[in-house]
Amino acid sequence: MIGTISSSATPRWSELLAGIRAQLPILLGTSPFGMIYGILAVEADLPVPVALGMSLIVFAGSSQFIAAQLFASGTPGIIIVLTTFIVNLRHMLYSASLAPYVRHLTMTWRSALAFLLTDEAYAVTITRYRQQPVERAPDSYGHWYFLGAGLTLWVSWQISTMIGVFVGAQIPSSWSLDFTLALTFIALVIPALTDRPAILSALVAGIAAVGAYNLPYNLGLILAVLLGIGAGVWAEGRQPGTDDSVGPQMNGSIDPHTDGEKGQP
Amino acid sequence: MTLWLIILGMVVVTYTVRLSVIALLGSAEMPDTMNRALRFVPPAALSAIVFPELLMPEGIFDPSPGNVRLVAGLVAAVVAWRAKNTLLAIGVGMVVLWTLQTVV
C-alpha cells in the first residue's frame, strides 16, 4: 500500500516532518479544548472508555463538545448523530478541496487521510499543496505532509482528552492560548489571498461568518464559506482577461522532491 | 451498549462526510465549474474561521480598538504578510494580546 521504502525515503520523511512541524504551533490552541472536552464528558457522566473512545474514533472537536452536552441533557441518540452530521458538514468542502491532490493515491491512503481531515489538518495541508500546481501533486509527497499534520493532531487530541478525563486539569483561560488557533489561521489565509477574486471571497466569507454567527450547529460557518466561494466565482467571471486556472501560488519550486523547507508557512 | 451505538453513528456520519469527495474523485474528472469553485475554499474557509475569532470575542460583535483580539490579530496579519513566517506571526500576536490584556 504505502509503497517500497527505497530511493525516495528521504523526501517522504522530510514531508512527514514538515507536516508535523506545521501542526505543532496549532497544538497550543487545540490542547486546551481537548482538556475541556474531557472534563465535559466526565461531567456528562459518560463512562471513561466512551469519553476517550469518542476522541479516538470520532475525532471532531466541535461535535464532541456538542455531543457531550447533548448526552448530559439526555437527548435521544438519533438526534446526537444527526447533530454531529450537520456540525461536521463543512468537512465535505475540505474533502472536495483536497480530492484533486490525493486522487492518484490508493484507496487505503485516501481512507486514512480522510479520517484525519480536520479544520487544522486541512488548513496546513492545502496551503502546502497549493504551493505547486495540482498537476504536480502525483510527483510530490504532499500526502506524507498531510499524514504528519493529521497524526500529530490526532495523537495530541488523545493526550489532551486524557488529561481532561483523568486529571480534570484545565489551562487557565486568562492565558488565552486558544487565540493561537486564530493566529495560525490568519498566517495561513494570507498566502491564499492570491488575487482579487480570492480576496473578495475571503471578505465575503468572513463578514458572512460574523453575520451568521448565531446560527446553530456551525451552520453559519458552512453558509459563510459557500457565500465566499460564490463571490469568488462571480468576481472571476467578471474578469474576462484573466485565466482562472492559476494564481501566484503556481510559482512552484523547481524540484518537488527536495523542497522540504521551501515556502514553509 | 446504546452509548457505543451512538458513538458508532457519530463515526459513520463524520467519516462519510470527510471521505465523500476524496473517495468519489478517483478516475472521474472533476467538472470544470467545480474546479473553479474549489479554488476559493481555502480563502473562504480560513477567513470564515478567523473573522468571528477577531470580531466577536466572547460572542459579542466588537469592532472597536478596545477589542484586544482584533488589534493583536491585525498585527499578526501584517507580520504574516510581510515576513511570511507563521511562528513569528503567532509569537508577535500572542505578545501583543498579552501586553494589551495587562494594560487595558
A166 touching chain B per CB within 8 A: no
Whether B22 shows a pLDDT value over 90: the answer reads yes
If asked whether residues B59 and B104 sit together in one domain, one would say yes
Mean pLDDT of B19-46: 89
A58, A110, A227 ranked by CB distance to B11: nearest = A58
Are B30 and A99 a contacting pair at CB < 8 A? yes
Q: Is A12 on the interface with B (CB under 8 A)?
A: no
What 3 state SS string does chain A have? Answer: CCCCCCCCHHHHHHHHHHHHHHHHHHHHHHHHHHHHHHHHHHHCCCCHHHHHHHHHHHCCHHHHHHHHHHHHCCCCHHHHHHHHHHHCCCHHHHHHHHHHHHCCCCHHHHHHHHHCCCHHHHHHHHHHHCCCCHHHHHHCCHHHHHHHHHHHHHHHHHHHHHHHHHHCCCCCHHHCCCHHHHHHHHHHHHHHCCCHHHHHHHHHHHHHHHHCCCCCCCHHHHHHHHHHHHHHHHHHHCCCCCCCCCCHHHCCCCCCCCCCCCCCC
A67, A92, A90, A68: which is closest to A80 by C-alpha? Answer: A67
**pLDDT tens profile A184-203:** 999 999 989 999 999 999 99
Q: How far is CA A135 from each of CA A132, A167, B104, rounded to the nearest angstrom?
A: 8, 48, 51
CB contact set of B11 (below 8 Å; sequence gap of 6+): A57, A58
Which of residues 97 through 126 in chain A touch B, CB cutoff 8 A?
97-100, 102-103, 107, 110-111, 113-115, 117, 119, 122-123, 126
Domain tally for chain B? 2
Give yes or no: residues B75 and B100 share one domain: yes
Domain check: are B27 and B74 in the same one?
A: no
**Considering CB atoms only, which of B17, B18, B80 is closest to A190?**
B80
Of B45, B61, B86, the CB nearest to A210: B61
- Nearest by CB to A80, from B10, B21, B37: name it: B10
Contacts of B103 (CB under 8 A, 6+ apart): none
Boundaries of domain holding B29: 1-39
**CA of B25 to nearest chain A CA: how many angstroms apart?**
6
Q: What is the pLDDT of residues A107-156, one digit of tens each?
A: 999 999 999 999 999 999 999 999 988 888 888 899 999 999 999 999 99
Predicted confidence at residue A8, as pLDDT, reads: 55
Which residues of chain A lie closer than 8 angstroms to B86, CB-CB? 22, 25, 184, 187-188, 265
The secondary structure of B20-83 as a DSSP string is HHHHH-SSSPPPHHHHHHHTTHHHHHHHHHHHHHHH-GGGS---STT-HHHHHHHHHHHHHHHH
Length of chain A (residues):
265
- Complex prediction ipTM: 0.91
Partners of B47 on chain A (C-beta within 8 Å) are: 189, 202-203, 205-206, 209, 228
Whether A208 sits inside 8 A of B48 (CB atoms) is yes
Please identify which residue in the block is written with the cell numbers 471571497.
Answer: A201
Q: Chain B residues with CB inside 8 Å of A233's CB?
A: 36-37, 40
B104 and B53 in one domain? yes
Of A127, A184, A227, the CB nearest to B90: A184
Domain locations in chain A?
A: 9-173, 193-241
What is the C-alpha separation between A63 and A58, in angstroms, rounded? 9
Does A43 lie at the interface with B, CB-CB under 8 angstroms? Answer: no
Which has the closest alpha carbon to B24: B10, B33, B34? B34
How do residues B49-91 score in pLDDT, each as one tens digit?
Answer: 999 999 999 889 999 999 999 999 999 999 999 998 889 999 9
Block means of pLDDT (10 residues each) for chain A, 265 residues, are 54 95 94 94 94 97 93 92 94 95 94 97 96 87 97 98 91 88 94 94 97 90 96 90 47 39 39
Instruction: Check: CB of residue B79 under 8 Å from CB of residue B85.
Output: yes
- The three cell numbers of residue B57 are 470575542
Residue A54, C-alpha cell as written in the block: 469518542
pLDDT band for position B26 (50/70/90)? confident
Pairwise CA distance, residues A149 & A144, whole Å: 9
